[in-house]
Structure 1
Amino acid sequence: MAEDSPFTVDGDWLQQRLEQPGLSIVDASWYLPAQKRDGAAEYKAAHIPGAVFLDQDAISDKDSPLPHTLPDPLEFAQFVGPLGISADDTIVVYDGPGLFSAPRAWWMFRVMGVFQTYILDGGFDRWKAEGRPVTSEPTKVAPNVFHADFDAERVVDLAEMRRIVDTGQSQIADARSAGRFSGTEPEPRAGMRSGHMPGAKNIPVSSLAENGALLPKARLRKLFEDAGIDLSKPVVTSCGSGVTAAAITLALETLGHTDNRLYDGSWAEWGALSDTPVVTGKE
């Protein structure tokens, strides 16, 4: 496993186990329009041997108008089972840069009961830079039956998020960029207000990693403290659409903070409504 985190593995660890039975490798790359990258196209061009592609736009609740809404356990199982993934597998997920969308897949598998799920340090970009094996050949998979053990308590819906904002019963950590959080930059989705929920603290996803790898524990702890997050109290994580919020979840869990939940609708839901309170500025 990678140094200093129980939830990441390094390239050496993964390369030594590429053909190991019971190992599922998942390319979970997803990007914002401004990043000008296409996860599916990049996967087709080159991926880690044996990896399957998890489309984060497709693996969502089909009845929800929001992007990336967590599907129910049956839908999730019907999506990942045909990819050859079993709940008994050791699962390694990765994205291009290393710590952007991969934590969302890590979180989804864990909330569905698969705790032996890990993230590849440095992502596929580092894997390639280190000269490790890649292929453009489609991965041959044998469909599997995935048995989900869903923990609904780890997910916050809109009604509960309203109560949390009203009462301050939990801290809120927002993974969006400083400009989007403060309201000085527009949201990438049309018709959405800029700013943040009252009481929220900003921990941009980009601040959690260095060279594609999660920061060491001491630096993560200082990052949360500097942002005004008390690690002895509950935290709800949020972001634009529920993807990068999971990177904060990963950081919290790495520090041993387990009293955390993810607001799945995130700003795509909150910012689009007319009756939800929104504030601007750094605080």
Structure 2
Amino acid sequence: MDQLVSTEWLAGEMGASDLRVVDATYFLPDAGRNARAEYEGGHIPGAVFMDIAELADASGDLPNMLPSAEKFASRMQSLGLGDGSRIVLYDDSPLRSSARAWWMLTMFGAHSVAILDGGLPKWKSEDRPLETGRPEVRHRHFTVWKDDKQVAKKADVMANLHDKHAELVDARPSARFTGEEPEPRGDLASGHIPGSHSTPHGQFFHGDGTWKTGDELKAVFEDAGVDLDKPMITSCGSGMTAAVPLFAVHLLGKEDVRLYDGAWTEWATDPHTPKATA
């Protein structure tokens, strides 16, 4: 299974015993939308709902930080996702939250995970079937392990300011990157991590919501001044859309990429970290 699959491919695979479809839609708290309610109102047949908001470390002050491996495995087992599953993720979110779900699943040990190109909007636009409610699922064993090499911490980003070993890309909107537009959280400083490149996550998609690929995808990074031959660290506001450029470079075959989970929220609240607006 490819990392990116089409609606036509998924329609042809429906009913396969090892296939698990997952709705990974997530909205910001102030979006005025309820991801679970929308899922129950209509989803791809057989899909289960992954509550990304709940898949976080609730012990700290930072949003969206990775949960423990044990918590993650428990939640996946309750969704019927386990060893031997082929997992296809989709969403209906402007944040493209299925990329975050893809990152977490692959980092915690899932071996066959893909994103549905175009997500639920494309599936609906083709008049493909939907179902409502919640399907009954059978718990499956999920063998979990954590690949910390895919995670960057604040200390790693701080060190990178000096050795410039990796390219740092920021998936927030450009006006937030420059500081022209304030952060959604009013207590956060504006601007960006010095030396980072602005790559707003929406630039990685066509107008119909499908992913750019190949040379079009490379051009997004190159136009932002990113050297794709160097390792990469991705960031955003709270670790959600940072998964979009991370998945994008995986589509290009690049694997030396990490996600800064604390992201701008952690960086901006530390008075000792440098901030830039130019």
Q: Same fold (TM over 0.5)?
A: yes
Matched letter for residue 228 of structure 1: G
**1:59-105 superposed Cα distances (whole Å, 9 cap, x missing partner):** 01122321111112111101111111103210000111587111000
Report how many aligned residue pairs link the two structures: 277
Q: Aligned equivalents of 2:12 and 2:174: distance in 1?
A: 39
Does the 8 Å CA contact 1:238/1:266 hold for their aligned counterparts? yes
Distance 1:117 1:95, change over 3 A: same
Q: 2:243 aligns with which of 243, 246, 258?
A: 246
TM-score, L = length of structure 1: 0.93
> Structure 1 residues 31-40 or 58-67, which shifts more?
31-40
Deviation at 1:167, TM superposition (A): 2.8
Question: What residue is the counterpart of 2:40 in the other structure?
Answer: 44
| Structure 2: tracts of 5 or more residues without a match | none
Matched letter for residue 161 of structure 1: V
**1:83-136 superposed Cα distances (whole Å, 9 cap, x missing partner):** 111032100001115871110001111111223100011111111111111011
Deviation at 1:234, TM superposition (A): 0.7
Q: Aligned equivalents of 1:68 and 1:165: distance in 2?
A: 24
**1:177-236 superposed Cα distances (whole Å, 9 cap, x missing partner):** 001111111111231111100000011100000111110211111111111111111110
| Structure 1: tracts of 5 or more residues without a match | none
Q: Percent identity?
A: 40
Question: What residue is the counterpart of 1:263 in the other structure?
Answer: 260
> Structure 1 residues 31-40 or 196-205, which shifts more?
31-40
Question: What residue is the counterpart of 1:220 in the other structure?
Answer: 217
> Structure 1 residues 145-154 or 158-167, which shifts more?
158-167
Q: Aligned equivalents of 1:96 and 1:87: distance in 2?
A: 26
Question: What residue is the counterpart of 2:158 in the other structure?
Answer: 162
Q: Aligned equivalents of 1:231 and 1:18: distance in 2?
A: 36
Does the 8 Å CA contact 1:99/1:214 hold for their aligned counterparts? no
> Structure 1 residues 164-173 or 183-192, which shifts more?
164-173
Matches of residues 124-139 of structure 1 in structure 2 within 5 Å? 124-139=120-135
Q: Aligned equivalents of 1:260 and 1:228: distance in 2?
A: 17
Question: What residue is the counterpart of 2:102 in the other structure?
Answer: 106
Q: Aligned equivalents of 2:60 and 2:166: distance in 1?
A: 26
RMSD (CA atoms): 1.6
Secondary structure of the residue aligned to 2:66 is coil
Deviation at 1:32, TM superposition (A): 3.1
